[in-house]
Structures are given as C-alpha cells and as structure tokens.
Structure 1
Amino acid sequence: MVQGFKMKTSEYSFTPFKGLKEALESKRYTFSKKDTIKNKSDEEIFLDAMADVREIKEFRKIFPKKPPMIKPSPVRKDDSLDILRQIVNGERKIRLSDTGEYIEWISPNMRKDIAWRLHQGDFSVQDYIDLHGMTLSEAEEALCLFFREAIKKRLFCVKVIHGRGLRSPRGPVLKEALKRWLQGSFKKWVLAYSTAKDCDGGLGATYLILKSNPSVSPLIKGRNKMGYRYRNR
C-alpha cells in the first residue's frame, strides 16, 4: 500500500450536475396576478388560444353551395264566391244530389247506376201518391194500399210526394218517416228509390222502382237485356 498519496481534486474529479441548480433558478417563471386565468375574460382566453392560428388561403376559393330554389306553389283561385254569386243570380242551378236533403238507395243486386238514372228521370213515372195533409198513421196506411195496387198492376216506376216540411216546426216529418218505412215494412216491395228531379218535385218527392214488374230484369246484376241470368266471365 502506498501511503502518503493524495489526489488533486482540481485535476481528477467529475461533476456533471454542477451549476444545474443555478440554471434552473434562472429559468424559473413566476406567474403574476395578471397572468392568472381567473382574471381573464372568456374573450381574452379565446384570443390567446387562437393567437397562433393562421388562415389557409386555399380555402378562400371554396364557396358554400347555394340552397335549392323553392318555387312557391301556384295560388289556386277560389271559385266558391263566383259559384255562390251565380247561384244567387240564377245563373247556376244547385245540384240536388249535393244537398243534405238528397236521398237514394238501391238493392244490393241492382246495378249501381240505377239510382242516378232514376233521379235524372230516365224512367217514366206511371203513378203517384200525395201524402200532404196526412198524419203518420194515415200516410203509412195510404202507402201500403198504394204499393199493393201498383204491384197488382205491375207498375215499374212510381212517385211519392211527401214535401220538405219547410213550414213545419218539426221539419220533414213525412219524408223521414218514408225513409224508415222504405228500409222497414215496405222494403220487400222496393228495388230502388231516389230524390225526384228538380222539375218534378225535387227534394219534396221520391221516385221508386217496384219489384214485381218484369221490366226490372235488365236492371238487375247478372241479367242480359232479355231478362235471362248470366255469369260474368
């Protein structure tokens, strides 16, 4: 062992972190009250965040698409006032079939156009009965006798005059009763009925087609003009 040998510190010692403390101290940043986020407004915070944002010039040439043009729907002319004026001036007739007083019915085995043809007056009226001035019981009894006689005579088309009840405080009592009877006790004798045409009683009268006449055969579904039944192919 060598005694008395002493290494010189200045020539042989290695201290790589010497001066690190001084360097860190020099880089330390102390926040002032002005730099705290708490004292900044939302707008200032946003401006700070966007400080390094730069515009992309290429995007200047990109234009947003225009929304499609929506054409306004054409304004439809309201003709209701013109129609009303024509009706008031007598230039246009009211279609009875468009009113609430119009009535019609056909038996299920009858052709669908029969009710309209009946209303138009395509079938000649062979007899009629006037119920004006009768009570309900009198009118029902008179109708029963009328239908029986008409069927005996094999009449095809008849007319019942019942009125509209315009002067009655209870309204068209006879007309409403007739509708009930035609769907009840008298239904067995009737194939179709419809409001009479305007010049033949209009809403105050009703045309009826009776069952017993052979002339109804061509009007029934599935029969030809000679009255023989056939099948649709």
Structure 2
Amino acid sequence: MNGADDDDAALFRSAIGPVRKLPERPAPPSAPRPKPRAKMAERDDADAREDLRHALESTLLEADDPLAWRGDVSQEAWQRLRRGEMSAQEELDLHGTDAATAEALVRAFLNDAQRHGLGCVRIIHGKGGRGGADIGRSGAPVLKNLVDRMLRQRSSVLAFHSPLPAQGGSGAVVVLLAPRRR
C-alpha cells in the first residue's frame, strides 16, 4: 500500500469511530430435502405393470375366438349354454361404441338385468373386424376383450359362452346370471 491509501483508511476509521463486531448470524435455512422415495418399490410396481401388460397382450382374443368361461354352474347348465339351448331374455348391442361407453353400458345392463331377475342375457360386441376404434394397437378386438374381462370379474356372472353362428357366433356372448340376492 502506498501513503495515500493509508491516509484514506486512517481518515475513514477516524470518521467512523470505534467499531464493534456484529454477532454472527445463523446460516439461512437450506432448501428442504426431498421426501425419501421407495425407488425399489416403484421399480417393482412398474415391472409388475409391464408383466401384466405383456400377459394381457399374449392372452387377447382374436376376432374369431369364442368367449367362454364357466363359474359355479352345473355341468348340465354349462352344456345347454354351449349348445345354444338357452335363450336370452334381453340383449345389449355395443356396435359403434367406444371402450369407455361400452364399459358403462355393460355395467348398467348387467345390473339392470339382475335387478329385474333375468337369468340369461346376450351381449353383442362384434368381432372387431372393421379396423376402426374397435381394434386395439395389438390388432385384437377391443370390445370383445373388454366384455370378456368384465364378465370374468363380475360376481353376478355364473358362466358365459359365445352362441351358435345363427345367434351371433363369436361376435356375441350369452351370459348366465346369478339370481338376485334379497
């Protein structure tokens, strides 16, 4: 430092007077740490969803595949259903509907059929052969697979089978319903 700078510093100190050191401030709070994530559980969930997606895609029904599932029904009732000897008391036609609308219609139709004591109904889902919204990315019929999945999950459904060709064939399904619980 040279003499002029020393004189300026001395002049500044004499103008200010005695100084005292300020107490040290605590450090400002840091940003909150992110909540811990269960990365392994997330990865397991993602893997399970992917496995389920692959399993569903590998079991998708094609246009000409019949729908069939047997729950708690007698062998005689199952055989009559398969041979087309049971007549539907009511029918729902899903042609031209999208998957979300079809799902809502099927739920309402089955609830209404059971509420009215119907034992056998037919759902026409189509074969999905037009290549429009009724065909999924895998090329499988959307409505047909949706109806199959929904019917298998309903406790009110005792059994179902695709009817004979004259009654709709693989583009429809005849459903046996459980009696209404009182």
Please indicate the TM-score interval, normalised by the length of the shorter structure: 0.5 to 0.7
Contact 2:69-2:152 within 8 A present in 1 as well: no
**Letter in structure 2 aligned against 1:206:** V
Q: The residue matched to 2:155 in structure 1 has which SS?
A: helix
Show the counterpart of 1:200: 167
Task: Give the alignment of 1:1-233 within 5 angstroms.
Answer: 101-107=65-71, 109-168=72-131, 169=135, 170-184=139-153, 187-212=154-179
Q: The residue matched to 1:110 in structure 2 has which SS?
A: coil
Max radius of gyration: which structure? 1
**Letter in structure 1 aligned against 2:70:** I
Show the counterpart of 1:63: none
CA-CA distance at 1:207 after TM superposition = 0.2
Q: The residue matched to 2:75 in structure 1 has which SS?
A: coil
**Letter in structure 2 aligned against 1:125:** A
Show the counterpart of 1:93: none
- Mind listing any 5+ residue stretches in structure 1 that lack a counterpart? 1-98, 215-233
Show the counterpart of 1:26: none
2-side partners of 1:175 and 1:189: how far apart?
19
Show the counterpart of 1:62: none
What is the TM-score when the length of structure 1 is the normalising length?
0.45
CA-CA distance at 1:189 after TM superposition = 1.3
1-side partners of 2:142 and 2:121: how far apart?
21
2-side partners of 1:166 and 1:200: how far apart?
18
CA-CA distance at 1:171 after TM superposition = 3.1
Contact 1:191-1:209 within 8 A present in 2 as well: yes
The structure 1 segments of at least 4 consecutive aligned residues displaced by more than 6 Å after TM superposition are: none
Higher relative contact order (CA 8 A, sep 6+): 2
What is the TM-score when the length of structure 2 is the normalising length?
0.57
CA-CA distance at 1:116 after TM superposition = 3.1
Aligned-residue Cα RMSD (Å) equals 2.0
CA-CA distance at 1:114 after TM superposition = 2.8
2-side partners of 1:114 and 1:193: how far apart?
11
Contact 1:132-1:161 within 8 A present in 2 as well: yes
What do residues 86-130 of structure 1 show as CA deviations (whole Å, max 9, x unaligned)?
xxxxxxxxxxxxx960221111x3223433321322112100000
Contact 2:64-2:170 within 8 A present in 1 as well: no
Identity of aligned residues (%): 32
What do residues 134-165 of structure 1 show as CA deviations (whole Å, max 9, x unaligned)?
11110010111111111111001100000111
Q: 1:130 to 1:100 in 2, by over 3 A?
A: closer
What do residues 185-215 of structure 1 show as CA deviations (whole Å, max 9, x unaligned)?
xx2110010011110100100000001269x
Q: The residue matched to 2:65 in structure 1 has which SS?
A: coil
**Letter in structure 1 aligned against 2:66:** Y
- Mind listing any 5+ residue stretches in structure 2 that lack a counterpart? 1-62
